């Protein structure tokens, strides 16, 4: 016979208590399973690196297995998504600039003095490979466990046997190459100094130059043989949908020197770097293939970010150091996210009004200038509003006067405007997009 609740309600109370206890155990298990720091913050959060070495690059093969490398031969590894990071013996004190893993066991790290390290056991042991060069190597890519490329200062190296032997390839240029990406054993791209982009469709037997229009490119990523992105100085982002036959600029909304970029598919991507204009690190993200980029919060304003890795669209890591650190000794920075980095903040201009030289002579033609950060988007213009104080009231003299000239300085736009002033008090403001500057007030004599 089924037992029904008595007026005291004890059986029902016990059932409720049992359900609550079960729910608490589930929540506790979930919290313990999260990477360190995830319970304290959404978006990006800090993981403990345990090192004072600057970290230059990071690679993950899935949401749990990852490696980070840096100066002094530092190699860190995690098997729990970064909840704990442990040091691996590299056998070198050379600076390590890049790391790549083709699977959870096969990996390579490259750096100064032509250093190439390899592992076949997930980093339990690392061994040095003969590169045949003393050039600084900046980047490495392995689309599988046998085919790989390393690039650096005036050099491209390739291997078809997992690095047992490396041979130099002819790039046709003398430039520092900072990043390399291969989608398979034949299709690859390398970027670097002076905005150079090199591409190959025959495993590097021949490399051809592609046009970028950039000053310096530091990172490149491709999701397949046609869809790719390159990032660099001044918040510069380029994208291609035809393997680099043509590249088009995307609006980043940033002045940062973007050092690295990662895409998990043709839509979801992240770029990281350091924004010297604002003295802070930078993380940008897109969910539409770069049609729109927005900033994500790193939770600190001191980090200088050098590398980023996303094995899927939600789990990601960025590494660097607190290079601007006014708050203590330098530390290796590791940031992580389990939700794709959280919300994106749409880019907005910061506009300064024209700087008028002092003193201002009445009747003279004065040229003044101001800035817009970040650089103007295609199609946007700067307009200037001049107002003259007549009889105690401000009266518009020129409404929406377009700027006379524009110059792009890395990540921002410098504009100039000319004006002839009558004696008296004046004020001026500038407008870019939907953002208006404060007023600047002065007197013409």
CATH of domain 44-346: 2.130.10.10
CA gap 41, 65 in Å, rounded: 22
| Residue 79, number of CB atoms within 10 A of its CB | 14
Tell whether the model's pLDDT for residue 232 goes beyond 80: yes
pLDDT of residue 445: 92
Residue 215 token pair: 């000053």
Task: Give ∠ CA 249-218-183 in degrees, rounded to 5.
Answer: 80
Cβ–Cβ under 8 Å, residues 248 and 241: no
Provide the percentage of residues in the chain whose pLDDT is more than 70: 88
User: For the segment 339-381, what is each residue's pLDDT rounded down to a tens digit?
Assistant: 999 999 888 899 999 999 888 999 999 999 999 999 888 888 9
What average pLDDT score do residues 267-271 get? 98
Q: Is the pLDDT of residue 440 over 80?
A: yes
Residue 329 has what pLDDT? 61
Mean pLDDT of 404-432: 91
Output b/e per residue, 163-174; b: 16+ Cβ within 10 A.
Answer: beebeebebebe
Instruction: Give residue-wise pLDDT tens across range 137-171.
Output: 999 999 999 999 999 999 999 999 999 999 999 99
Q: So where are the chain's domains?
A: 44-346, 350-444
pLDDT for residue 42 is more than 70: yes
Average pLDDT over residues 33-57: 75
Q: Does the domain spanning 350-444 belong to CATH 3.90.1150.10?
A: no
Residue 302: band (very low, low, confident or very high) from pLDDT cuts 50, 70, 90: low
- Mean pLDDT, residues 265-279: 88
Q: What is the mean pLDDT of residues 67-94?
A: 98
| Long-range CB contacts for residues 395-403, cutoff 8 Å, separation at least 24 | 400/431, 403/430
Please tell me the predicted confidence (pLDDT) of residue 300. Answer: 59
Instruction: Output the DSSP codes for 260-295.
Output: EEEESSSS-EEEEEEETTTTEEEEEEESSTTSS-EE
- Between 40 and 52, name the one with better pLDDT: 52
Contact yes or no for 169/150 (Cβ under 8 A): no
Residue-wise pLDDT for 205-221, tens only, equals 999 999 998 889 999 99
- The average pLDDT across 192-210 equals 97
Residues 406-419 have a mean pLDDT of 89
More confident residue, 199 or 407: 199
């Amino acid at each position: 016979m089924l037992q029904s609740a008595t007026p005291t309600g004890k059986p029902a109370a016990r059932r409720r208590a049992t359900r609550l206890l079960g729910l608490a155990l589930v929540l506790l298990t979930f919290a313990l399973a999260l990477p360190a720091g995830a319970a304290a913050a959404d978006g990006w959060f800090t993981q403990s690196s345990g090192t004072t070495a600057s970290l230059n690059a990071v690679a993950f093969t899935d949401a749990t297995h990852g490696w980070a490398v840096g100066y002094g031969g530092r190699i860190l590894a995690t098997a729990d998504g970064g909840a704990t990071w442990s040091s691996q013996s590299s056998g070198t004190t050379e600076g390590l600039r890049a790391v790549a893993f083709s699977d959870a066991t096969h990996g390579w790290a490259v750096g100064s003095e032509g250093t190439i390290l390899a592992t076949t056991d997930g980093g339990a042991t690392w061994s040095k490979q003969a590169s045949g060069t003393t050039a600084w190597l900046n980047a490495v890519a392995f689309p599988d466990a046998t085919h790989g490329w390393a690039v650096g200062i005036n050099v491209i190296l390739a291997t078809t046997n997992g690095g047992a032997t490396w041979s130099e390839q002819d790039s046709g240029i003398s430039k520092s190459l900072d990043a390399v990406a291969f989608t398979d054993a034949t299709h690859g791209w390398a970027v670097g100094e002076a905005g150079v982009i090199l591409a190959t469709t025959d495993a590097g037997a021949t490399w051809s130059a592609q046009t970028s229009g950039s000053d310096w490119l530091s990172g490149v990523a491709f999701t397949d043989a046609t869809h790719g992105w390159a990032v660099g100085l001044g918040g510069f982002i380029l994208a291609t949908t035809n393997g680099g036959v043509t590249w088009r600029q995307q609006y980043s909304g940033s002045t940062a020197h973007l050092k690295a970029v990662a895409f998990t598919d043709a839509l979801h991507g992240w770029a990281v770097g350091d924004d010297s204009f604002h003295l802070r690190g930078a993380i940008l993200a897109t969910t539409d293939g770069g049609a729109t980029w927005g900033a994500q919060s790193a939770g600190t304003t001191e980090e200088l970010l050098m590398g980023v890795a996303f094995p899927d669209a939600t789990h990601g890591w960025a590494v660097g150091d607190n290079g601007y650190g006014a708050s203590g000794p330098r530390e290796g920075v590791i940031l992580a996210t389990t939700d794709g980095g959280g919300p994106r903040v749409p880019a907005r201009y910061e506009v300064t009004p024209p700087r008028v030289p002092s003193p201002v002579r009445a009747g003279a033609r004065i040229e003044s200038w101001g800035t817009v950060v970040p650089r103007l988007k295609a199609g946007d213009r700067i307009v200037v509003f001049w107002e003259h104080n007549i009889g105690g009231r401000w009266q518009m003299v020129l409404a929406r006067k377009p700027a006379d000239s524009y110059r792009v300085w890395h990540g921002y736009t410098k504009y100039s405007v000319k004006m002839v002033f009558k004696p008296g008090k004046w004020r001026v403001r500038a407008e870019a997009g939907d953002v208006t500057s404060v007023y600047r007030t002065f007197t013409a004599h």
